[in-house]
Amino acid sequence: MSQTGSGTAEIVQAPAKLTVSLRVLGRRPGGLHEIEAEMVSVSLADTLVFSEGDGMELHSSDFAPELLQDIPLGEANLVSKALRGCGERAHVRLHKRILPGAGLGGGSSDAAAVLRWAASRGQDSKQLRLLAARLGSDVPFCISGGRALVGGVGERIVPLDFVPRQYALVTPPVGVSTAAAYARWDELGGPTSASGNDLEPAALSLEPALALWKDALAEAVGGSPLLAGSGSTWFVEVKGGPEDTTAEAETIGVVRIGDQTAPIQLVRTLPPLPGGF
């Protein structure tokens, strides 16, 4: 967290969340699913700028405007919900680098950034943790980030030792609804997957074209790509470890399927986040 030169605005980073393994253990009576997952924060991040006032602005130089059109800017946005939930007031300028619908927890990380900002203003961290669980299943992990084993419906966080790794990611222009993926997992009889991600068969059943992007990433960088959560991002570890532990995400290539393209981004894992709790 840092302040701008004027001292009237505060900048908070919101790193993407990568689910590197996911086991779905079953469905609770209320419809939510129990999981056991390893999650890591990576160096692809949105940026939130907090200043005096109200309202929210959305900016991105990474995506075409049509890719952001489904992001609500009113009360339905997770940033607005987080502000409202913790009783804070601010104008937020949100710079998006995490593509919506990528399965990388962009909205959840944005909400968690609000909660870290609220904690820096003296809000009670225990109450903010309770709010995080209400905002979404990925929000509790995104508060502290780093590397953790996540259980329950996302509320149980067991920190794990930080391991520096780097991954190549590609996010196809194909969306998969998380709710639809879990529903299809139920319809398929609750399969487990040898890939380490139990939702991968369900996502491929919903969007078979995802397999083309998986194969294209494998051809481009080698290895056997895995699906991040319910998708649509594919990722593969790039061996050797990051040479620069402070490097931001960088584009290292492009995947093309027909007339559609998607960048290949190289990201590194992050230790627990400053201001996390």
Give catalytic residues, as residue numbers.
17, 138
Q: What is the largest CA-CA distance in the chain?
A: 57
Q: Which two tokens stand for residue 160?
A: 């794990």
CA–CA separation, 37 and 19 (whole Å): 7
Contact 258, 212 (CB under 8 A): no
Amino acid found at 232: S
Residues in contact with 151: Cβ distance below 8 Å, sequence separation at least 6, in sequence order: 34, 35, 36, 37, 158
At 76, is the secondary structure helix, strand, or coil? Answer: coil
CA dist 165 and 189 (Å) reads 34
Helix (H, G, I), strand (E, B) or coil at 114: helix
